[in-house]
């Protein structure tokens, strides 16, 4: 009997095999994702929504010569699997030839069959309600209002293709995020983990509550250049957008990356190192991509030097490289993107960064973040839920929110201190950063 959390290897790959057997295409690839998730939302110190979802999706990529078609279904009956194989092959025969299609990957070393956390798979509505209850209790005790969400998911992912690729893995993810509000302030806290047992809801709520209380009666400050301490949620947001624009193999091949022509050059501070590693247990482990190619560790920045970008089989062929196992998904046009980022840590605590700042700002997180100019690595965002003025090495008051417009690589060239305590946020394991002359381009009234 299988001890799989949702769908075992034999069952998942067996379903893929039936699709392959039904396909008439020259080459066929099958992605199967069986998932189950639950979400509990809360606002105004009450739970107001509970959502549960379960699904099995089968995505088929078929190739006839250089013509490629993609079809999907959640009908896993024999007829449904035969139908999706036929639709993918038909779409391939009708599509425009793709001269850059390299063919499907051939079989190589099978990636490890990662397993998820049973505790996360069992983190159901009662357990989520318990975590939320602990948060709300802290908010009520402080005279604040808690809002947010608690979620947990489990998934099995299988990939098989007609050239012999076979891969299966499980994954789990739990998240608790919250915003505490007062009369004129707010505070944020969040945790993301593969193992729900590591969530300490009451301690996390205390962080959000402390930020909310400390940010009360915020003052306005002028935008401009400020020394800034980015807490891990903020630095992770910046790094995730940098990864999207700079280390995408397709963006590099098409000349859209800010690192085009700069590989091997120093592009930011020597205290900055960044890599992608799908097997690091500190993150949300992933053993292979949607092509069934094992996820390789990739050094992206090494002591400030641009080292590599990530590839799928298409961009690897375009660049004369090797796939790093970062394919985004069947039919995706976004190109490969790092999804398991880890930044090298330093020796400083946030308290030491504050003490080293004569006048500056501390930013808890960013909101409404986006890329202004991907080719120049220019990023914009708003501060939110805990922005503070530092004077004389101490936090003195909360400040009204500011808009950031900054060149991410240039900002990383002005990092004066790197924190020692990194946390996982938005798929990035990031430390706090003290950045000199960080550019704030506008201010708000809240």
Residues 129 and 235 in one domain: no
* Any domain includes 206: no
* Any domain includes 334: yes
* Any domain includes 252: yes
Domain count, the chain: 2
Q: For residue 174, what are the domain limits?
A: 9-198
For residue 65 the two structure tokens come to: 């010569």
Residues 138 and 283 in one domain: no
C-alpha closest to that of 324 among 335, 333, 312, 315: 312
Please state the length of the chain.
446
Q: State whether residue 9 is helix, strand or coil.
A: helix
Residues 146 and 115 in one domain: yes
For residue 95 the two structure tokens come to: 């599509």
Residues 168 and 112 in one domain: yes
pLDDT given for residue 136 in this prediction? 98
C-alpha closest to that of 257 among 337, 327, 368: 337
Residues 444 and 329 in one domain: yes
Query: Hunting for tokens 């379960």 — which residue is that?
Result: 54
Residues 350 and 238 in one domain: yes
pLDDT given for residue 408 in this prediction? 98
CATH number of the domain where residue 161 is located? 3.30.2290.10
Q: For the chain, which residues score pLDDT lower than 50? A: 1
pLDDT given for residue 124 in this prediction? 98
Residues 155 and 251 in one domain: no
Q: How many CB atoms sit inside 10 A of residue 359's CB?
A: 13
Q: Exposed, middle or buried by CB within 10 Å (0-12, 13-18, 19+), for 351?
A: exposed
Q: How many CB atoms sit inside 10 A of residue 329's CB?
A: 15
Residues 226 and 288 in one domain: yes
pLDDT digits (tens, 9 = 90+) for 225-279: 999 999 999 999 999 999 999 999 999 999 999 999 999 999 999 999 999 999 9
* Any domain includes 383: yes
Residues 189 and 224 in one domain: no
Residues 184 and 234 in one domain: no
Residues 241 and 193 in one domain: no
* Any domain includes 2: no
Residues 443 and 349 in one domain: yes
DSSP, residue by residue, 118-179: HHHHT--HHHHHHHHHHHHHHHHHHT-EEEEEEEEEEEEEEEEETTS-EEEEEEEEEEEEEE
What is the C-alpha separation between 360 and 407, in angstroms, rounded?
19
Q: State whether residue 425 is helix, strand or coil.
A: strand
């Amino acid at each position: 009997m299988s001890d799989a959390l949702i769908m075992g290897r034999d069952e998942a790959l067996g379903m893929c095999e039936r699709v392959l057997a039904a396909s008439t295409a020259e080459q066929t690839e099958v992605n199967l994702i069986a998932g189950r998730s639950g979400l509990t939302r809360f606002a105004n110190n009450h739970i107001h929504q509970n959502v549960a979802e379960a699904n099995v999706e089968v995505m088929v990529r078929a190739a006839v010569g250089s013509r490629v078609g993609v079809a999907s279904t959640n009908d896993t009956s024999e007829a449904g699997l035969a139908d999706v194989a036929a639709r993918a092959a038909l779409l391939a025969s009708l599509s425009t030839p793709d001269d850059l299609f390299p063919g499907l990957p051939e079989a190589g070393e099978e990636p490890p069959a990662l397993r998820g956390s049973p505790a996360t798979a069992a983190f159901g509505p009662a357990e989520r309600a318990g975590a939320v209850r602990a948060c709300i209790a802290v908010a009520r005790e402080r005279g604040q209002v808690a809002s947010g969400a608690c979620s947990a998911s489990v998934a099995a992912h299988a990939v098989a293709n007609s050239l012999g690729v076979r891969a299966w893995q499980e994954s789990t993810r739990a998240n608790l995020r919250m915003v505490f509000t007062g009369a004129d302030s707010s505070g944020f806290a969040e945790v993301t983990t593969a193992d729900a047992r590591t969530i300490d809801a009451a301690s996390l709520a205390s962080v959000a509550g402390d930020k909310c209380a400390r940010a009360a009666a915020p003052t306005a400050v002028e935008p401009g250049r400020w020394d800034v301490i980015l807490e891990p949620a903020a630095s992770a947001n910046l790094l995730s957008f940098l990864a999207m624009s700079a280390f995408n193999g397709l963006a590099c091949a098409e000349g859209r990356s800010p690192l085009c022509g700069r590989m091997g050059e120093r592009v930011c501070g020597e205290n900055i190192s960044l890599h992608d590693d799908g097997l690091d247990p500190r993150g949300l482990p992933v053993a292979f991509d949607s092509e069934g190619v094992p996820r390789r560790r990739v050094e992206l920045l090494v002591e400030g030097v641009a080292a590599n970008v990530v590839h799928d089989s298409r961009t690897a062929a375009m660049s004369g490289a090797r796939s790093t196992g970062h394919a985004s998904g069947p039919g995706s046009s976004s190109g490969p993107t790092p999804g398991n980022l880890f930044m090298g840590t330093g020796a400083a605590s946030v308290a030491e960064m504050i003490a080293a700042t004569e006048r500056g700002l501390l930013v808890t997180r960013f909101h409404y973040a986006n890329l202004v100019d991907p080719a120049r690595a220019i990023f914009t965002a708003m501060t939110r839920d805990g922005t503070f003025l530092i004077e004389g090495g101490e936090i003195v008051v909360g400040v009204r929110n500011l808009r950031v417009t900054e060149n991410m690589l240039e900002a990383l060239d002005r990092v004066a201190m790197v924190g020692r305590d990194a946390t996982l946020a938005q798929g990035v394991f990031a430390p706090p950063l003290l950045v000199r002359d960080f550019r704030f381009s506008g201010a708000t009234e809240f």
